[in-house]
């Protein structure tokens, strides 16, 4: 049973709508990190703080029936596409009420009813899945568009480049969105990427642009142009969004204390904050109303998640086969 | 009655399923001109939207099929050589196979991976001669190795209609097998139901794919000496354990012949499960490729690592003497 949420009646592509999205993702991630520290979320998470403008801007350009595939840093995409924060948080906490019934956790959140075809824990793996979904939509006669989010680390994965080739070759309605936060775990872009990221798209003849990934409006404008192009049958595009990850690659860093970014760099990176950039476009009263509403949504999500039952271990391998086939048990006797 | 080859049976199953269900489509390398012959005539009948030639991009087109399957399609991928499955192992085992569970049952991934010419074709050397069905069975991906034309037709048909990913290995050594049968009688064969090709009293020989025909030949050769039952599980995962148990209840003796490497191969699992579940009169035996085998090029060397009839005959005699 999901928590009923009062949705603020602002279109997602309005200034208030964009602000609500970035505010919601930020508050959600802050509380999720707290729950990792308290032990309520096991395994840790890859926080999306700092990158909110990309999910908010891209998803605001999409229809409900458009599809997305996401990364191991996927909470922001899933929330921006409209997933219930309570059920996302319940999934992170491994509860039976979670989006994936506690079978997926942080890195695999999916909501097929909303076109969220799954976050993916293998870097670069989702691009080809997105291309297949886009092709299937076109075969149905639909003008649905499919978006693949990935990080800068993924641009060196062969399967992603193969997927770009297929999408461009077959003029599929795909939007490749690279979130360039400067680091693939701890490896800097300059130590990893030969050439440029947009050059990867250009090599396949794909319109490719680099935009400010800290400003939701800028991302929305770029995404809208690419989505319109895809919907019109003019093929895929690549958008490289320059962004900065405010928090750790993964919450294990809070314990491991690995050092790969100077304090000055992190301080400076946090200066341009998508929540503040978009918040400045609202009047104070409106901003306060959204903040309060988001706070109540996230509070309710936390309560819902922590009050929800754990899945029954007897069903650990439920859903392994779509046909219902049961696997042989592993125990002795 | 007309003759049907194993090869033609695969082609016929593809054609029948493409005609029956508009969600089915075939993709792969050189499928339009049908280099392997398995997709012959399909482009003309169904057009380029149902028969897609792909670039040499195994990883991408394998996950492309996953995305299409999650969006309501039923892709059948033809892999031209078995080793390409190693390239796409991530996409099959770590992606397609895991989506149903990881999403809590929100989606299904009905992709069929068809591998005609699996195993040694002799003279194709180290990177074109593997028969990697045990890897997929170990990972829990439904895995089928038909032995006869009617089973090739029936099992491929069932794989295409199945809501889970299924790998269909068509051994090189079985592609030329022909059967005298009524085409009207071709029908789907359920996964996980074995077939006793020859009844016997003294020993059960378990074999899949082309080795079923070797087992039948050996059984015939030994007919005056020993009564051999030949049990073909037809799918190695799920495996027809009840069918095996029924056969062993009768014979009490077991030999497994398996064209995969000995270490952690299917033969090992069959022997282990029989030891756990069945009342064997004597220790079982297995005939397999050697541990870690890489198939060498020269004909004699290639054959030296294949399980053969002489080894099977020796193994049968060995379990009978004990």
Q: Which domains does chain A have, with CATH numbers?
A: 15-299 (3.40.50.970)
B268–chain A nearest CA distance, Å: 16
Q: Does A162 touch chain B (CB under 8 A)?
A: yes
Q: What is the mean pLDDT of residues A204-209?
A: 98
Buried b (16+ CB within 10 A) or exposed e, A276-289: ebbbebbeeebbee
Q: Do residue A139 and residue B49 have CB atoms under 8 angstroms apart?
A: yes
Q: SS3 for A21?
A: helix
pTM: 0.96
Q: How many residues does chain B have?
A: 322
Residue numbers in B near A140 (CB within 8 A): 72
Of A101, A100, A138, residue with least CA distance to A116: A100
A320–chain B nearest CA distance, Å: 5
**CA atoms of B66 and B95, how far apart (whole Å):** 8
Q: What is the mean pLDDT of residues B46-58?
A: 97
Q: Does B69 touch chain A (CB under 8 A)?
A: yes
Q: Which pLDDT score, from 0 to 100, does residue A255 have?
A: 84
Counting one residue from chain A and one from chain B, the pairs whose CB atoms sit within 8 A come to 149
DSSP H helices in A4-94:
15-37, 52-60, 75-80, 85-92
Enumerate residues 6+ apart whose C-beta is below 8 A from A4: none
For B128-189, give the DSSP string.
T---THHHHHHHT-EEE---SHHHHHHHHHHHHHSSS-EEEEEEGGGTT-EEE--GGG----
pLDDT grade, residue A2 (50/70/90)?
Answer: very low
Q: Which pLDDT score, from 0 to 100, does residue A332 have?
A: 75
Residue numbers in A near B101 (CB within 8 A): 103, 317-320
Strand order in the sheet with B254-261: B195-198, B228-232, B203-206, B254-261, B285-289
Q: Do residue A165 and residue B60 have CB atoms under 8 angstroms apart?
A: yes
Closest residue in B to A113 (Cα) is B106
DSSP-assigned letter for residue A111:
B
Q: Does B64 touch chain A (CB under 8 A)?
A: yes
Specify the CATH number for B3-180; select among 1.10.10.10, 3.40.50.970, 3.40.50.2300, 3.40.50.1000: 3.40.50.970
**CA atoms of A91 and B106, how far apart (whole Å):** 14
Q: Does A145 touch chain B (CB under 8 A)?
A: no
Closest residue in A to B56 (Cα) is A162
Domain B195-321 falls in which CATH fold?
Answer: Rossmann fold (3.40.50)
Closest residue in B to A170 (Cα) is B54
Q: What is the mean pLDDT of residues B19-35?
A: 96
Cis before B85 (ω within 30): no
pLDDT grade, residue B181 (50/70/90)?
Answer: confident
pLDDT grade, residue B322 (50/70/90)?
Answer: confident
Q: Does B260 touch chain A (CB under 8 A)?
A: no
B195-321 and B3-180 share a CATH fold:
yes
Q: How many residues does chain A have?
A: 333
Query: Please, what is the average pLDDT of chain A?
Result: 96
Q: Which pLDDT score, from 0 to 100, does residue A333 have?
A: 60
Of A124, A198, A209, A137, residue with least CA distance to A173: A137
- ipTM, 2 decimals? 0.94
Residue numbers in B near A127 (CB within 8 A): 60, 63
Q: Which residue has the tokens 């050594």?
A: B173
Q: Does A154 touch chain B (CB under 8 A)?
A: no
**CA atoms of B99 and B108, how far apart (whole Å):** 7
Residue numbers in B near A120 (CB within 8 A): 95
Closest residue in B to A139 (Cα) is B49
**CA atoms of B152 and B158, how far apart (whole Å):** 10
Q: Where are the domains of chain B?
A: 3-180, 195-321
For B100-111, give the DSSP string.
HHHTTSS-----
Q: Do residue A125 and residue B95 have CB atoms under 8 angstroms apart?
A: yes
Q: Is B210 one of the catalytic residues? A: no
**CA atoms of A133 and A172, how far apart (whole Å):** 9
Share of chain B above pLDDT 70, in %: 100
Of B75, B229, B216, residue with least CA distance to B148: B216
**CA atoms of A320 and A14, how far apart (whole Å):** 41
Q: Which pLDDT score, from 0 to 100, does residue B29 have?
A: 97
The set of long-range contacts for B317-322, using a CB threshold of 8 Å and a minimum separation of 24, is: B317/B226, B318/B285, B319/B203, B319/B253, B319/B254, B319/B255, B319/B282, B319/B283, B319/B284, B319/B285, B320/B202, B320/B203, B320/B226, B320/B253, B322/B282, B322/B283
Enumerate residues 6+ apart whose C-beta is below 8 A from B49: A139, B25
Q: What is the pLDDT of residues A240-259, one digit of tens each?
A: 999 999 999 999 998 888 89
């Amino acid at each position: 049973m999901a928590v009923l949420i009062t949705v603020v009646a602002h279109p997602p592509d309005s200034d208030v709508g964009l602000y609500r999205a970035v505010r919601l993702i930020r508050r959600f991630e802050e509380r999720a990190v707290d729950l990792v520290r308290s032990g309520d979320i096991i395994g840790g998470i890859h926080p999306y703080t700092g990158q909110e403008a990309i999910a908010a801007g891209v998803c605001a350009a999409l229809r409900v029936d458009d599809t997305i595939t996401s990364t191991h840093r996927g909470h922001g995409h899933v929330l921006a596409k409209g997933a219930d924060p309570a059920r996302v948080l319940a999934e992170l906490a491994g509860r039976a009420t979670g989006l994936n019934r506690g079978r997926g956790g942080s890195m695999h959140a999916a909501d097929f009813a909303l076109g969220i075809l799954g976050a993916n824990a293998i870097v670069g793996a989702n691009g080809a899945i997105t291309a297949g979904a886009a092709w299937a939509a076109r075969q149905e006669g639909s003008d649905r568009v499919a978006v693949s989010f990935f990080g800068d680390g993924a641009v060196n994965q062969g399967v992603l480049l193969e997927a770009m080739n297929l999408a461009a070759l077959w003029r599929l309605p795909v939007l490749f969105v690279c979130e360039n936060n400067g680091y693939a775990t701890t490896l800097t872009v300059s130590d990893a990427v030969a050439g440029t990221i947009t050059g990867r798209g250009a090599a396949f003849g794909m319109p490719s642009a680099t935009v400010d990934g800290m400003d939701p409006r800028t991302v929305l404008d770029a995404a809208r142009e690419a989505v319109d192009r895809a919907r019109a049958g003019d093929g895929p595009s690549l958008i490289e969004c320059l962004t900065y990850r405010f928090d750790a690659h993964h919450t294990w860093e809070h314990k491991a204390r690995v050092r790969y970014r100077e304090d000055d760099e992190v301080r400076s990176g946090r200066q341009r904050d998508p929540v503040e950039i978009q918040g400045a476009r609202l009047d104070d009263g409106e901003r306060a109303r959204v903040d309060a509403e988001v706070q109540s949504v996230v509070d309710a999500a936390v309560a819902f998640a922590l009050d929800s039952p754990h899945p029954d271990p007897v069903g650990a391998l439920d859903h392994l086969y779509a046909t219902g086939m049961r696997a042989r048990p592993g125990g002795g006797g | 009655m007309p003759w049907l080859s194993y090869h033609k049976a695969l082609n016929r199953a593809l054609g029948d399923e493409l005609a029956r269900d508009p969600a089915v489509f075939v993709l792969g390398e050189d499928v339009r001109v049908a280099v392997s012959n398995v997709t012959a005539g399909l482009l003309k009948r169904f057009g380029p939207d149902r028969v897609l030639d792909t670039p040499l991009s195994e990883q991408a087109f394998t996950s492309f099929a996953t995305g299409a399957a999650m969006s309501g399609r039923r892709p059948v991928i033809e892999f031209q050589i078995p080793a390409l499955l190693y390239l796409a192992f991530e996409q099959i085992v770590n992606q397609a196979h895991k989506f149903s569970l990881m999403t809590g049952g929100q989606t299904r991934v009905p992709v069929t991976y068809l591998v005609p010419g699996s195993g040694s074709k002799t003279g194709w050397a180290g990177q074109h001669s593997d028969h990697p069905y045990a890897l997929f069975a170990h990972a829990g991906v439904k895995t089928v190795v038909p032995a006869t034309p009617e089973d090739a037709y029936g099992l491929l048909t069932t794989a295409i209609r199945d809501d889970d990913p299924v790998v269909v290995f068509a051994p090189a050594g079985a592609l030329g097998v022909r059967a005298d049968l009524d085409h009207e009688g071709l029908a789907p064969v359920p996964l996980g139901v074995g077939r006793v090709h020859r009844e016997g009293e003294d020993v059960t020989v378990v074999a899949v794919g082309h080795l079923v025909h070797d087992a039948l030949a050996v059984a015939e050769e030994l007919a005056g000496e020993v009564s051999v039952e030949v049990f073909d599980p037809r799918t190695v995962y799920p495996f027809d354990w009840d069918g095996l148990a029924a056969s062993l209840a009768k014979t009490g003796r077991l030999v497994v012949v398996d064209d995969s490497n000995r270490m952690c191969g299917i033969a090992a699992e069959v022997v282990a499960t029989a030891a756990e579940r069945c009342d064997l009169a004597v220790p079982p035996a297995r005939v397999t490729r050697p541990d870690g085998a890489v198939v060498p090029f020269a004909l004699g060397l290639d054959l030296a690592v294949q399980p053969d009839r002489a080894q099977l005959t020796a193994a049968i005699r060995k379990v009978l003497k004990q």
